[in-house]
Structure 1
Amino acid sequence: MKILIFKSGAIGDVLMTTPFLRALREKYPKANIVYCVGRYSAIALKNNPRINKLMTFDEVVVFKKSVFGLLHLRNGIKKERFDISFNLDRSGLSNLFLASCLIPVRIGFSRDLNGLGLTKSVKPIPGNHHIREYLRLLGPVKEKNTDMELLLQRKDEEYATKFLKKNNLVNPIGISILGAQNPGQNMPSRRWPLRHYLKLIELLQRKNVPIILFGSPAEKSHLNKIGASIPVSCADVHKNVCLMKRCKLFITHDSGAMHLASIADIPVISLFGPTNPDEKAPVKFTNLVFWAKENYAPQIEAKKPKAFYDPEFMASITPEKVAKKALEVYHAPRND
């Protein structure tokens, strides 16, 4: 049996599919599993033992709906002659795209007409965590483990050890102030304002708390300017996760870094605005969520008004509140 998994991208979103991938392999231990994913996010699946092959494409082809790019991708998928496809994007267009690839069994999410092109559809449950939603596509499975996976190597651990030694750091707090941006997508409304992050850092430094700023390699120059006196780690996701494991706490907004810190299995204070933390926040640390929505009047419920997507919407979460919670967690004993 040959199975296709399709996911266009976003590193955090791809990481949230790894429990599904683990359960899929348990259900079909002898299947040939191919994961088709956007090139930028493919690093989240590097060396993953659950898949037989990684097929990548340019995400912009999907977001800009490039006819020639989609035809090229379609031809590549058709050549593989898959028996089953799982569309992990909640997109009616990608459902139709996979139908055009002539795969006999096509499973995915449907809302109203978005289910066209599927042979088996699952209606999303609002407020259900995306990890659990992906698992629902498999029907009954023996174990519904929600732990995400990222395969780490010795060189990644060595990077973390050298970084801490070089910067003379013990029990730092990790902070990611950028992110929420992928090829073809920019979501500034998910980011906590930079001025709030700077104030948070000031409040923590007053208490002599060591800090590391985390980012992607593309964000290095920007972060070096922002935190000239603060150690900055802009390594690949595997090295950053190993360094996050050495942190006592991590603070960020809804972004790929939030999911990486969750994999590192450290407490994560997550800051949310337009997205629902019930659907995306680290499963083990739902008690450490700040949601800007909670600071607004009930009318915010009315179909997500424009104010909900204003970058300043996140400003209602104050740095003082986050610093207070961070210091509580930082000084609390870990129950490992």
Structure 2
Amino acid sequence: MKILIVKRDKIGDMLLTTPALRVLRAALNETSPGSEIHLLASGYNAWVVAENNDVDHLWTYQRVRTGRRVDFRAAWGQLKLFFALRREGFDVAIAAGGNESPRALKRALAVGAKRTIGYTNESIWRRRLTDSMLVPVAGHETLRIANQLTPLGVELPLPLPPPVFESCARSREFAIAFMNHHQLEAGKFAVIGTGARFPEKQPSASQILTWAEHLFNCYHLKTVLVWTPGGTDSPLYRGDDQLATEVMRSKPDYLIALTPASKDVRKIIAVIAQAKTSIFPDSGLMHFAAATPGGVIGLFASTWAEPDQWAPVGERARAIVNRLALAEWPDHIVIDAIGAQLNTSNVLDG
């Protein structure tokens, strides 16, 4: 059997697909040895599974449109790619994701597989899919994606395997060099991230400084600050340069900037993997931090995302939920979670 997983979303969404890949591989090893798992992803998120042993072949395409710019070479490349995918003769194509994605459904249908699986509530798609499934009204994203395997007769183990990510050698080398340069030891520092697409989900400079001071005074942990490069008016993705500049202006000895000069998020993740623990707003990096030994405190502010679907997953992953904008949270909410994080993990309501 030859199965194609179509995953077009951002890096955190791709990471949350890895439990389903693990379940599918285990099921195929038992029922259909020799079966192949292919994965179609954009050039933006494909690297997340580049080292994943559950994927036999990784197909990538480049974005045709970035902002207002149209890349005609990428459009031609996509056309050639889908002709190649049709020649593969897939038995199954799955538009993987916990919600309906018309773009993913279009790509899954375009490969001409014998069976196409996807979530939709729309009759126009239900007529075209061989295995249409209603969009779930509840459940974590990892479970929603894994549930798309059930039309193939796959029984889901509960709990699901955790999300997994393996940093490449170059990223690990960067992390070691960064730590050596700043005299950091694995497990002897924390990471605080600012990246958030919406201002309601972002901490203030004073909050970051308070958390970092608490980590140093109470737990002897220096803090590495991570942020998204660019300005708040960036047309593609809201950047945090202004906030990072404000935080680092005070220059405390226990706060270190992980300057995103290379804009290579893979190197940042390799550093996060060495931390004692991390603090991130709801974001892709939050999910990667959850997959590391140190785990993460995920901050869910305002009403932008439902933690029941998007909470971080891992042995040392916890989510704090508060309907206030993050910058309005009292300091004790995160400080209390930091203390609890060093001992156990659960979900806290602020």
State the TM-score, normalized to the length of structure 2: 0.74
2:93 is equivalent to residue 85 of structure 1: yes
The count of corresponding residues between Structure 1 and Structure 2 is: 308
Gaps (5+ residues) in structure 1?
A: 181-186, 296-312
Aligned to 1:174: 191
Structure 2: runs of 5 or more not aligned: 231-238, 346-350
Corresponding residue SS for 1:94: helix
Superposed displacement of residue 193, structure 1: 3.3
* 2:165 aligned partner: 150
Structure 1 residue 261: deviation in Å?
Answer: 0.8
1:10 CA drift (Å): 0.6
Partner of 2:115: 105
Say yes or no: does 1:200 pair with 2:215.
no
Once the two structures are superposed, the pairs formed by residues 274-313 of structure 1 within 5 Å of their partners are 274-284=304-314, 288-293=318-323, 313=325
Deviation of 1:117 (Å):
2.6
Please state how far the C-alpha of 1:98 moved relative to its aligned partner.
Answer: 2.8
Look up the match of 1:38.
42
Residue 333 of structure 2 corresponds to residue 318 of structure 1: no
1:141 corresponds in structure 2 to: 155
In structure 2, give the amino acid aligned to 1:174. V
Choose 205-214 or 6-15, whichever is displaced more: 205-214
Structure 1 CA distance, aligned partners of 2:240 and 2:178? 15
> 1:223: how far off?
8.0
User: For residue 138 of structure 2, what is the aligned residue in structure 1?
Assistant: 127
SS at match of 1:250: strand
Seen in structure 2, the aligned counterparts of structure 1 residues 101 and 326 have a Cα distance that, compared at 3 Å, is: same
Say if 1:241 and 1:264, in contact at 8 Å, map to a contact too.
no
Give, in whole Å, the separation in 1 of the partners of 2:333 and 2:339.
Answer: 10
Give the direction of change, closer, same or farther, for the CA distance of 1:240–1:193 in structure 2 (3 Å limit): closer
Who is 2:233 aligned against? none
Counterpart in 2 of 1:227? 248
Q: CA deviation at 1:259?
A: 1.2
Q: CA deviation at 1:120?
A: 0.7
* Structure 2 CA distance for partners of 1:231 and 1:263, relative to 1, 3 Å: same
Secondary structure of 1:200's match?
Answer: helix
1:245 and 2:269 are equivalent in the alignment: no
Kindly indicate whether the alpha-carbon contact (under 8 Å) linking 1:192 and 1:271 is maintained by their aligned counterparts in 2: no
1:9 and 1:59 in contact (8 A); partners too: no
Q: Is the 8 A contact 2:200 2:327 kept in 1?
A: no
Is 1:157–1:239's contact at 8 Å kept on the other side of the alignment? yes
Contact 1:38 1:58 in 2 (8 A): yes
Distance 1:43 1:315, change over 3 A: same
Output the amino acid matched with 1:168.
Q
What are the Cα deviations for residues 165-194 of structure 1, in whole angstroms up to 9, with x where unaligned?
32123421111112x4xxxxxx31563234
Candidates 292, 301, 304, aligned match of 1:264:
292
Match of 1:213 in 2: 225
Distance 2:305 2:87 in 1: 38
Structure 2 CA distance for partners of 1:190 and 1:246, relative to 1, 3 Å: same
Aligned-partner Cα distance in 2 for 1:326–1:57? 41
Change in Cα spacing, 1:146 to 1:190, as seen in structure 2 (3 Å) is farther
TM-score, normalized by length of structure 1? Answer: 0.77
State the match for 1:183 in structure 2: none
The structure-2 alpha-carbon separation of the partners of 1:76 and 1:40, relative to structure 1 and needing over 3 Å to count, comes to same
CA distance in 2, matches of 1:290, 1:60: 37
Q: CA deviation at 1:116?
A: 4.5
How far apart, CA to CA, are the structure 2 residues paired with 1:245 and 1:277?
23
Q: Deviations over 1:282-308 (max 9, x none)?
A: 234698322233x5xxxxxxxxxxxxx
Q: Partner of 1:40: helix, strand, or coil?
A: coil
C-alpha distance in structure 1 between counterparts of 2:96 and 2:66, whole Å:
14
The aligned residue for residue 235 of structure 2 is: none
User: What value does the CA root-mean-square deviation take over the aligned residues?
Assistant: 3.5
1:52 aligns with 2:56: yes
Which has the larger helix fraction? 1
Deviation at 1:63, TM superposition (A): 9.2
Identical amino acids, percent of aligned pairs: 24
**Partner amino acid, structure 1, of 2:336:** K
Shift of residue 14 of structure 1?
A: 0.2
Distance in 2, matches of 1:116 and 1:243, equals 47
Q: Counterpart amino acid of 2:282?
A: D
**Per the alignment, do residues 248 and 148 of structure 1 end up closer, same or farther by CA in structure 2, a change over 3 Å counting?**
same
Partner of 1:23: 23
